[in-house]
Structure 1
């Protein structure tokens, strides 16, 4: 007998250890991870099943008598049946039905030995009716219990349907629906059956956000993430979240849960916030930007110090590197497996949509930068908050260090680099005063331009990375000082030129088609009002020839940026233009003149600007083309009509009156007879209207929002005076010759 007592003690100790292992204490989790590693769930389940089998076999072996063993086996079989049912309600209800039928069917409520006088029952007059009612109620209660238990057994069917229609996946979806059923049942019981409170899955997920249970927190953020991805319900969930300050604050605060036990909650809170970001104004939840910024932290990144400034111990490396999707995947499954309810065992035969594995895009820094990208595109006030976080911009730029990507050759580093470039492109494209502040802060980072140059110079890198880099350089080049600083790093311009001029434009992919266009835009911005940059670009072999071909191919993706670039080269690098370059300009002129007749708006402004510079650089050839092509009258009328039609130009083509007047001046300077034609077309009256209605916006080349950039050195009024002077001189000459 002693040996069986020892066996039971061992069994008890094992069960206690298994129970303690399920407690979510950090010390216990660390101990299990250190001893069992990723196989801890398997070994716990395996040991538990062995203990169950031992507890079933041991009572049979203890009893020496064979007949007693049969009794124990029968009792264990009955107990097993009860366990399979999941509760004691079915046998209890069966007993109720059996007892009621035993009394109702014989209908004998009197003692067999007692004589009954049915005419004089005395105090037993209503006994039969009362007992019929009583046993009828017992029978009905038992039947209702049995019916309820049967429905409970088959409740997995609507649950599976809800899992599929809700878009849930894997075992966590099963556990979430089970918790929802239990929660709904509890609320129904509290409110009464006749007037139940409507409880939706969305309401359940929102209520669970504020739960103190780690399991409820995990399931709530996972459910919200699924809902926010499904279009029919997405708008309703966003409306509910944005109007509930408490729930929104709770979700945002989860982004700052850095404890290892909260990794899964933090991950899915970040994924849910990505879906919400385009509808979120961060001023409604104080501290949002600081919490989003915390997602970009890489604790395991060892900083290299300066031996002249640092002492030992100043930079201690931490153990948690960039958030590992494989680790998160394992932790998420561990968190889900330990909550799978036993009532789902029957329903496991029904298929459940498989849970999608985490990808490199689910890295916390990548999610954080995606949130920032959407917040910046949502509202300019969000950009103000981004600018206020002191270390946020340096964190973003830190991920553009492509040398680390090349060295590690890791997909995660590429994803992070791409995410950071997307955010930087977004932030540098913001208009208004806040855009000026953001571009200044970004451009002053000491390693930004170097990192962008490395990405452009790596031929093996993703084409989308190069496109994003070109977009960032284009946006930063709006500022004069930054444009000059980029030009001093000549490798950026030469690599942009190679990307733009030598790329295959027949590619079918969208990225490959957009890359040369964005690179061309960046070059056009860098060339404006910058002699040095224009000279660097002109050194590229056959530069003017390739730009001419882009204007002639009738592809609007490249025509206007190429025209702007060629215009800047004529304006700022005229002395360096070779005979071959001048011939290319001459070949371009006819196409430019024809296009001027057909386009409007900003495109027309660019083409007239190029045409005026060609007229200035090669005036003789310009006159020959204008006279020989028999389009002089039509071209000059087009200029005057466009000037009259743009007496109040918008921000998208604020300089159109300026380029028309410049074109007129260069034409009259190279051929004084053109002044007579302009006088016939009432150019003088149009110039007087320009003089009467000057606009401050016409002093700038480009606008982002309401802020103008690249101010012209010559006022518009000075150009008007010069044009009037040339026309007046011709009039005086005409009068003199007539006299």
Structure 2
């Protein structure tokens, strides 16, 4: 009623003090937009309430959003209001967020919102999580979602922030801006984690469930973006996943590893769903990299036999070989007996080393070796292509293992000219061979041992005999 009285009072004043047509031309939406620009908190609140009411109205929404969408100063004002964190301005802030969530639903309007300097940072300010103050903004660390505290509705703002971002992410360029906004991706990822309290609480609100769902949808949209924007987002997400303790927390979350294996081994999936299996395999390979605890968890799942069988399946064998290699490399000596079954894969592995090329040959080299073929591979890949950047590293690692295992292998390698090939590797080593995990051509995780150290170790073994 206050808003309506104020509107008619202003209309009457314009008729009296100016022309009668000035009052007749006034409408509630234009009146509200004028009030937003005021310095008076009371007038700002009246303007925000009116715009929210009309923007949310099924009958008037389209016309209201059209008027707001062509008025850039109003959009800028609404974006600015997202940063207002004073409890006394909570309703203004919430109204601005709700109006922008509707405005972002139209493509042209979403581009205008995202094009405002600082818009993404303002939207990011709506998302609240507890973070370790000593951590960097782009790190995933111990965190806790902030539920409503006292009289302030943090959860409502989290919900609205993700809703706005989800609508903005429908545009390819906007995805790039979201990925480039400092500290925003870690916040989004934080909301994908459903804690025990959320899963078990019978009184959990639909809004809280929707927020988790919306964050997962948003991560999927950002990660699946094509082109350079998509590659960038993929690098950022994988970098977050590689952050210290992140793989341990993921692997330690109940049912995650088992669920990924169920997807990886699932039979009867439609052909257009093959990418899901591949993604599950890639995730498992990443989770077992340098993670002794995750390797132990996988061995407890008793999936070794299935992984060995997967080496025969063209769609699965690359990732199956990666997982098996990681299990052998990072499980520790106490799991030696459990991994004895990997020997059964020797014929399959050797066949792949001898007959396949590129990626399959590279990962199979991570499991076993054949002396003559190892030397031939070093000769063939004097300058490893981007597709198989680790093939020489795996070859040398296996040659070292074979020479340490049997003295006769040292003589075999000498006769085959291994020393000459290793010296050639020293002269042609590239930076990309120093990395363990890649996104496109970007290295994400460095090996603990450099290529030069590996080559020197191999040469030393050859010289000792």
Q: TM-score, normalised by structure 1?
A: 0.43
Paired with 1:431 and 1:319, the residues of 2 have a C-alpha distance of: 29
CA displacement, residues 478-527 of structure 1 (integer Å, 9 cap, x when unaligned): 2344334555xx344x5313541487612435897555543432332222
Deviation at 1:289, TM superposition (A): 0.8
Secondary structure of the residue aligned to 2:445 is strand
- SS state of the match for residue 610, structure 1? coil
Residue in 2 that maps onto 1:565: 323
Check conservation: 2:166, 2:214, Cα contact below 8 A: yes
Q: Which residue of 1 aligns with 2:165?
A: 368
Which structure is higher in helix share?
1
1:16-70 per-position Cα deviation (integer Å, ceiling 9, x unaligned): xxxx9x963889xx9xx9xxx9xxx9xxxxxxxxxxxxxxxxxxxxxxxxxxxxx
- So what's the TM-score if we normalise by structure 2? 0.64
How far 1:609 sits from its partner (Å)? 1.0
Matched position secondary structure for 1:653: coil
Give me the whole-angstrom Cα distance separating, in 2, the residues matched to 1:376 and 1:220. Answer: 24
Mapped partners of 1:369, 1:510: distance in 2: 29
The answer to whether the aligner puts 1:646 opposite 2:406 as a matched pair is no
| Residue 528, structure 1, aligned to residue 364, structure 2 | no
Partners of 1:397 and 1:670 lie apart in 2 by 46
Q: Where does residue 546 of structure 1 map in the other structure?
A: 306
Give yes or no for the alignment of 1:269 onto 2:269: no
In 2: Cα distance, 1:566 partner to 1:318 partner: 45
1:483 matched residue in structure 2: 247
CA spacing shift, 1:639–1:712, aligned 2, 3 Å = same
Q: Which residue of 1 aligns with 2:118?
A: 287
Q: How does 1:189-338 map to 2 (within 5 A)?
A: 216-219=63-66, 266-273=100-107, 285-293=116-124, 303-305=147-149, 314-316=150-152
- Where does residue 605 of structure 1 map in the other structure? 362
Distance 1:218 1:377 in 2: 20
Does the 8 A contact of 1:500 with 1:516 survive in 2? no
- 1:323-402 equivalences under 5 Å are 365-372=162-169, 378-379=175-176, 382-385=178-181, 387=182, 393-394=186-187, 397-398=190-191, 400-401=193-194
Alpha-carbon distance in structure 2 between the residues aligned to 1:405 and 1:707: 37
Contact 2:100 2:164 in 1 (8 A): no
Flag the 1:712–1:303 CA change in 2: closer, same or farther, 3 A.
closer
Distance 1:587 1:411 in 2: 51
Distance 1:662 1:320, change over 3 A: closer
Inter-partner Cα distance in structure 2 for 1:610 and 1:274? 53
Instruction: Please tell me whether the aligned partners of residues 375 and 418 of structure 2 are also in contact (alpha carbons under 8 angstroms).
Output: yes
> Is 2:463 the partner of 1:721?
no
SS at match of 1:564: helix
Task: Note the C-alpha offset of 1:268.
Answer: 4.5
How far off is 1:608 after superposition?
A: 0.3
Instruction: Select the structure with the greater relative contact order (CA < 8 A; seq sep ≥ 6).
Output: 2
SS at match of 1:690: helix
Give the secondary-structure state (helix, strand or coil) at the position aligned to 2:449. coil
CA distance in 1, matches of 2:98, 2:233: 35
Any conservation in 2 of the 1:501–1:516 contact (CA below 8 Å)? no
Aligned-partner Cα distance in 2 for 1:318–1:711: 39
Conservation of the 8 A alpha-carbon contact between 1:296 and 1:396: no
Match of 1:505 among 263, 266, 288: 266
Asked if the contact 2:231–2:440 (Cα under 8 Å) also holds between the matched residues in 1, the reply is: yes
Match of 2:28 among 24, 29, 35: 24
Distance 1:670 1:703 in 2: 31
Is the alpha carbon distance of 1:495 and 1:726 closer, same or farther for their aligned partners in structure 2, counting shifts above 3 Å?
same
Alpha-carbon separation, structure 2, partners of 1:291 and 1:513: 39
Deviates more, 1:600-609 or 1:703-712: 703-712
Q: Shift of the alpha carbon at 1:590?
A: 1.0
Looking at structure 1, the residues matched to 94 and 151 of structure 2 have their Cα atoms a distance apart, in angstroms, of 22
Structure 1 residue 577, shift from structure 2 partner? 3.4
Q: Which residue is 1:417 aligned to?
A: 212
CA-to-aligned-CA distance 1:151-200 (integer Å, 9 cap, x gap): xxxxxxxxxxxxxxxxxxxx98xxxxxxxxxxxxxxxxxxxxxxxxxxxx
User: Of residues 257, 275, 286 in structure 2, which corresponds to 1:496?
Assistant: 257
| Unmatched runs of 5 consecutive residues or more in structure 2 | 1-23, 33-41, 82-91, 129-144
Of 600-609 and 370-379, more deviation after overlay is shown by 370-379
